[in-house]
Amino acid sequence: MMFRSNCYRNLISCIGNKKISKKYSVISAVLEKPNVGDVTEIKGWVKNLRKQKDLIFADISDGSCAQKLQIVIPKNLTTDALTYGSSVSITGKLSKSPRGQLELVADNIKVLGSCVVLDGYPFNPRTTHPPEYTRQYLHLRPRTNYTSAILRIRSAVTKHIHDYFASNNYTNVHTPILTSNDCEGAGEVFKIQPDSEETIKAMMQENKDRDSVYFGSKTFLTVSGQLHLEAVCRGMGNVYTFGPTFRAENSRSRLHLSEFYMLEAELAFCENINHLQGAIEDLLKYVFTETRNTNEADLFLIDKHNKAPSWVNKEFVTLTYDEARQILLQKGCTLTDEGINKEQELTLVEHCNGVPVFVVRWPKDMKSFYMKECSEDNTQVDALDLLTPITGEVVGGSLREDSYEKLKAKLPSDRLNWYLDLRKFGNIPTGGYGLGLERLLQVLCNVSNIKDTLPFPRWPHNCDM
Amino acid sequence: MMFRSNCYRNLISCIGNKKISKKYSVISAVLEKPNVGDVTEIKGWVKNLRKQKDLIFADISDGSCAQKLQIVIPKNLTTDALTYGSSVSITGKLSKSPRGQLELVADNIKVLGSCVVLDGYPFNPRTTHPPEYTRQYLHLRPRTNYTSAILRIRSAVTKHIHDYFASNNYTNVHTPILTSNDCEGAGEVFKIQPDSEETIKAMMQENKDRDSVYFGSKTFLTVSGQLHLEAVCRGMGNVYTFGPTFRAENSRSRLHLSEFYMLEAELAFCENINHLQGAIEDLLKYVFTETRNTNEADLFLIDKHNKAPSWVNKEFVTLTYDEARQILLQKGCTLTDEGINKEQELTLVEHCNGVPVFVVRWPKDMKSFYMKECSEDNTQVDALDLLTPITGEVVGGSLREDSYEKLKAKLPSDRLNWYLDLRKFGNIPTGGYGLGLERLLQVLCNVSNIKDTLPFPRWPHNCDM
């Protein structure tokens, strides 16, 4: 009984001291409901210092919003450690400046962590460092105004996406990163194996090579969760997945990453490509509108000319693949059998005054095996690309082939027999799409290089940290 | 101008036909607001058929909720294709059965996809297949009541977690899956390389091996996003990440997976382990309470004895590591230098009447290099494990060492110099924790095997699909 009571002694001793309430305020909350006269504590980093005769003005950011809080510091309170980049805790009274700006008049300042720029801190006050420069310091980059604004927007967009699908009755499915699927026959995948020689030795079996020893078959990083989503959709209705996806391409463009976030949705009982287009358009307009509501100051910080795109209140354009090619021909573009290149995608969007363009009805040979043949023309499939300014393609999608026989004839590998099985038992018509989060952020924020839309970009020869 | 107008013709032709509204109703919506007398269409799968003289009763599920909708079918409407497992579209009038149950009296039935059990469909009507059996059919498993209920709960828990952090001012950070970090020196990691020999040849440089050719250094799948989170936290305040995490362990227990979802949070300006405990306790109680509100029928389907755990309204217990060992000794457990094993974790929870137990103040040698030394005793660190019924440890966390000198002395690799750098420039005290989603679901749903808490489990020798 001694220990039982000991246990409860601890339990009781916790009540009252465990939930130490945050004594300090975050700046976004202070600005949202400014109670002039209140004494409050804020914590954050010094972004700027302006010294006057008897006073020092400091701009403090705590990462909660784009705005900084101005602190008025009597000279007797300051110390040498109070420098650009240092972290501080400041208590004081909320006041209005002569110009009507909210400020905190400090009566106590504590420097939590000093920052000596000469010791190698890569950023300087009153300087907008170009993205190419800050990208060299991924571990410190979230302290810059630009990157922290993008990361807040990325977080908000992620939340809006989850909210959208929840309120539209989709189940969020965590499709796997590791897969033994042949990934649509794409050569550009990463394969995995245990790093430990000991583990490999312990698990080695006859007829297995190092690539197969752990899982029993060669295992890759996913290039898409679509096929898995389709399996869940055929039992649970509308589903989506939203997470990391990989490409082992040797390309270093402003639009490609080796690891990126993809949103994929699969719509149950979807028989018409128009239905899919409507779902995509609805989602994009929701996300753009909501993000403008929640993160206006961040959008403005990144691009002071940023404004709501004109298309938020317009219907997206639809062109068939053939129509799109006709337009490009008339504009003097050189067409090849490989479809529509990036430059041509942007030409099409410009042609439509910057309104996003669905290109539909693609030649079957150019698209994946799982896409459904058009009922009117079996050389075409019911696929779509959605093109936008800045990035060109941002969404790709299709109806899925639901004929067991047609799918069987096109199946690229026996490893996908399970996928064929889905058509055999209680099959339903479905369609779905994939949207690249980073490209969406490029369009939303007007960011030309995709590497600035995520905290830790990975591309060939670059996997720092 | 011809094409411009062509483009706008398309634009105009879309208005009115693109947004085809869903004509059918999902069952969860029908049950939530039952409008007896309404004519409605539902789509789903036949879960059960009961034939009477002039009528057939069918239970239809569409995956939107645990409940099925009973359909009353006049015999003249039925066809041979209407079997268990087939997918259907049914129109009819919502009515009340003599017993007061909501039902749909069909006037039109269309079988969308037939299902012939004898063709190899692995499930049977009126049968609860054991999890070990359904796990062999991952692609069809979402069609079972049990798995679809767990997947709905998983989706809901994910949503509640995002909602919790959004309403508490945390930024959601997508920490990378691919990392060149030495992963805390853990040997049990997966390494990656491009699958394509062509890519490897094209990218090969002198002094590089196959493991380093793509990124320039050996690259692993993440075992934790914590270190990355700490970098973002030191510029943006409270942050969290929630996504896939990997272990290349050769273990096949009911508690381990090779790929699992981990929630990790890092709290800015966190100076006290009590503060961290409060945050964890608050989150868990929120998620358990909310999920019971949103998914009561799913919880009941999985375990008809499931009820809200008694601890939702109690304070969690706190024991120091030494106190915990004392309790175990008194209970006759054999202690080793390796800490507290799984069985002992469960003994401690039982000792505290099933209330979750924080074990705090761990010997420094047993924990990671980044954990902060206790101010009262530098042989201990301010770390915590949270133990619950069923799984034992479900959360691990700590305050982070914020002394540059102490951290430098303990840093396991030069590759982590960036992490040390974080303490050099405007450092702040932080603390954080990691929570395994699958283990949380085991506790919430009372599921003994972790492989049944996610759609596509991966463990040694198992990476189907």
- Give yes or no for A251 touching B (CB within 8 A): no
In chain B, CATH 2.40.50.140 sits at 27-126
pLDDT at A381 over 50: yes
Amino acid making up residue A27: I
The pLDDT of residue A184 is: 57
pLDDT surpasses 80 at A13:
no
Average pLDDT over residues A314-319: 97
What is the distance between the alpha carbons of residues B267 and B398, in angstroms, rounded to a whole number?
Answer: 10
Which pLDDT tens digit goes with each residue over A239-262? 999 999 999 999 888 989 999 999
The shortest CB-CB distance from B236 to any of A148, A174, A214 is to A148
Q: What's the distance, CA B355 to chain centroid? A: 22
Q: Does A63 touch chain B (CB under 8 A)?
A: yes
Q: How does residue A9 score in pLDDT terms, banded at 50, 70 and 90?
A: very low
Task: Flag the least confident range among A16-30, A238-252, B69-83, B127-141.
Answer: A16-30
CATH topology of domain B27-126: OB fold (Dihydrolipoamide Acetyltransferase, E2P) (2.40.50)
Q: If 0-12 CB within 10 Å is exposed, 13-18 middle and 19+ buried, where does residue B281 land?
A: buried
**Type and span of the H or E element at B431:** strand B430-436
pLDDT at A277 over 60: yes
Chain A residues closer than 8 Å to B2 by CB: 330
Please tell me if residue A393 touches chain B, with a CB cutoff of 8 Å. Answer: no
- Which residues, in sequence order, are bridge partners of residue B88? B44, B111
Two tokens at A394?
């941002």
Residue A195 at interface with chain B, using a CB cutoff of 8 Å? yes
Contact state of A20 with B63 under an 8 Å Cβ cutoff: no
Q: How far apart are CA A62 and CA A142, in angstroms?
A: 11
Nearest CA in chain B to A461: B215
User: Per-residue pLDDT tens for B398-441?
Assistant: 999 999 999 999 999 889 999 999 999 999 999 999 999 999 99
- Considering only the beta carbons, identify the residue of A20, A44, A236 that sits closest to B63: A236
Percent helix, percent strand, percent coil in chain A, to nearest 5 = 35, 25, 40
- Cβ contact B166–A158 (<8 Å): no
Look over chain B and give the mean of its residue pLDDT values, rounded to a whole number: 92
B-proximal residues of A, 316-375, CB under 8 Å: 316-319, 323, 326-327, 330, 351-352, 355
Q: Provide the 10 A C-beta neighbour count for residue A159.
A: 19
Closest listed residue to residue B317, CA positions, set B384, B372, B371, B391: B384
pLDDT at B11: 35
Residues in B touching A31 (Cβ below 8 Å): none
Q: How close is the nearest chain A Cα to the Cα of B98, in Å?
A: 30
pLDDT at B218 over 60: yes
Instruction: From residue B274, give the alpha-carbon distance in Å to each of A21, B388, B398.
Output: 10, 18, 10
Across the interface, whether the CB atoms of B4 and A112 are under 8 A apart is answered no
Chain A residues in contact with B403 (beta carbon < 8 A): none
B260-292 tens-digit pLDDT: 999 999 999 999 999 999 999 999 999 999 999
CA closest to B464 among chain A residues: A180
Instruction: Name residue A458's amino acid.
Output: R
- All residues of chain A having their beta carbon less than 8 Å from the beta carbon of residue B63 are 171, 235-237, 268
Closest B-chain CA to A459: B215
Closest Cα of chain B to A190: distance in Å? 4
B23: left (phi over 0), alpha (psi -120 to 50) or beta: alpha
Q: Which residue has the higher pLDDT, A257 or B16?
A: A257
Asked whether the predicted pLDDT for residue A15 surpasses 60, the reply is no
Among A13, A62, A426, select the one facing B86 at the smallest CB separation.
A426
Q: Which residues of A touch B149 (CB under 8 A)?
A: none
Q: Which residues of B touch A172 (CB under 8 A)?
A: 154-155, 158-159
Model confidence at A185, pLDDT cuts 50, 70, 90, reads: low
Chain B contact for A172 (CB, 8 A cutoff): yes
| Mean model confidence pLDDT for chain A | 92
Tell me: pLDDT of B161 over 80.
yes
**CB contact A119 to B (< 8 Å):** yes
CB spacing of A315 vs B196 below 8 angstroms: no
Quote the tokens at residue B173.
């950070």
Cβ B199 vs Cβ B325: under 8 Å: no
Q: What pLDDT does residue B7 have?
A: 35
Helices in A353-434 by DSSP H: which ranges? 404-410, 417-421
- The whole-number pLDDT of residue B437 equals 98
Q: Are A183 and A412 in contact (CB under 8 A)?
A: no
pLDDT of residue B206: 81
CB-based contact (8 Å) between B51 and chain A?
Answer: no
pLDDT band at A212 (very low <50, low <70, confident <90, very high): very high
pLDDT at B17: 45
SS3 B244: strand
Least confident segment among A109-123, A132-146, A439-453, B173-187: B173-187
Bridge partners for A260 per DSSP: A245
A417 touches chain B (CB under 8 A): no
Interchain pair A455, B236: CB under 8 A: no
The pLDDT value given to residue B187: 64
> What residues contact residue A268 under an 8 Å CB cut-off, 6+ apart?
A233, A234, A237, A238, A239, A428, A430, B43, B62, B63
B286 vs A: CB within 8 A: no
| ipTM of the complex, rounded to two decimals | 0.94
Closest-approach residue (CA) in chain B for A197: B187
User: Does the beta carbon of B16 lie under 8 angstroms from any beta carbon of chain A?
Assistant: no
Q: Any residues with CB less than 8 A from the CB of A457 and at least 6 apart, and which?
A: A135, A138, A257, A450, A451
Give the pLDDT confidence score for residue B4 in this predicted structure: 31
Compare all CA atoms of chain B with the CA of A205 and give the residue at the minimum distance: B461
Are A460 and B244 inside 8 Å of each other by CB? no
pLDDT number for residue A206:
81
- Confidence (pLDDT) at B183: 61
- What is the pLDDT confidence band of residue A306, given thresholds at 50, 70 and 90? confident
Residue to mutate among A41, A232, A277, A280, with most B CBs inside 10 A, is A232
Instruction: Count CA atoms closer than 13 A to A271's CA, side-chain side.
Output: 11
B310: pLDDT confidence band, cut at 50, 70 and 90?
confident
Give the confidence band of A22 by pLDDT, cuts at 50, 70, 90: low
| Distance between A163 CA and the closest CA of chain B, angstroms | 8
- In the predicted model, is pLDDT for residue A149 greater than 80? yes
More confident residue, B206 or A215: A215
Most distant pair of Cα atoms in chain A: their distance: 90
Closest A-chain CA to B173: A155
Cα–Cα distance, B204 to B216 (Å, whole number): 10
Q: How far is A416 from chain B (nearest CA, A)?
A: 7
Q: Mean pLDDT across the stretch A126-150?
A: 95
Give the pLDDT score at B1.
27
Interface contact A180-B464, CB threshold 8 A: yes
Asked whether the beta carbons of residue A196 and residue B188 sit closer than 8 angstroms, the reply is yes
Beta strand A69-74 with A102-113 is: parallel
Phi, psi of A136 (to 5 degrees): -75, -10
- Chain B residues whose CB is inside 8 A of the A23 CB are none
Residue B90 pLDDT more than 90?
yes
pLDDT at B103: 97
Q: Tell me the average pLDDT across A179-200.
A: 84
Mean pLDDT score, B234-252: 95
A136 at the B interface (CB within 8 A)?
Answer: no
**CB atoms B330 and A454 under 8 Å:** no
- Split at pLDDT 50, 70, 90, the class of B126 is confident
| pLDDT tens, position by position, A37-70 | 999 999 999 999 999 999 999 999 999 999 999 9
Q: Is the pLDDT of residue B9 over 50?
A: no
CB contacts, 8 Å: A190 with chain B: 192-195, 214
First to last CA, chain A: 51
CATH topology of domain A145-188+223-452: BirA Bifunctional Protein; domain 2 (3.30.930)
A120 touches chain B (CB under 8 A): yes
Provide the Cα torsion A282, B239, A141, A103; round to 10°.
90
Residue spans in chain B of domains classed CATH 3.30.930.10: 145-188+223-452
Return d(Cα A382, Cα A78) in angstroms, integer: 67
Contact B192 A221 (CB under 8 A): yes
Tokens representing B169? Answer: 């001012």
In this prediction, residue B306 carries a pLDDT of 81
CA dist list (Å): A360 to A320, A340, A385, B2, B384: 5, 12, 7, 20, 55
A15, amino acid identity: I
In B22-181, where do the E strands start and end? 39-51, 55-61, 69-74, 87-96, 102-113, 171-172, 178-179
Contacts with B446 (C-beta within 8 Å, 6 or more apart), sequence order: B302, B303, B305, B306, B390
Size of interface A-B (CB pairs under 8 A): 448
Q: How confident is the model at residue B211 (pLDDT cuts 50, 70, 90)?
A: very high
What pLDDT is attached to residue B307? 83
What pLDDT, on a 0 to 100 scale, did the predictor assign at position B224? 95
Residue B261 Cα, gap to closest chain A Cα (Å):
9
Q: Chain B contacts of A161, Cβ < 8 Å?
A: none
Give percent above pLDDT 70 in chain B: 94
Distance (Å) from the alpha carbon of A274 to chain B's nearest alpha carbon: 5
With a CB cutoff of 8 Å and minimum separation 6, the contacts of A126 are: A48
What pLDDT digit, counting tens, does each position of B444-464 carry?
A: 999 999 999 999 999 999 999
Residues 6+ apart with CB under 8 A from B35: B94
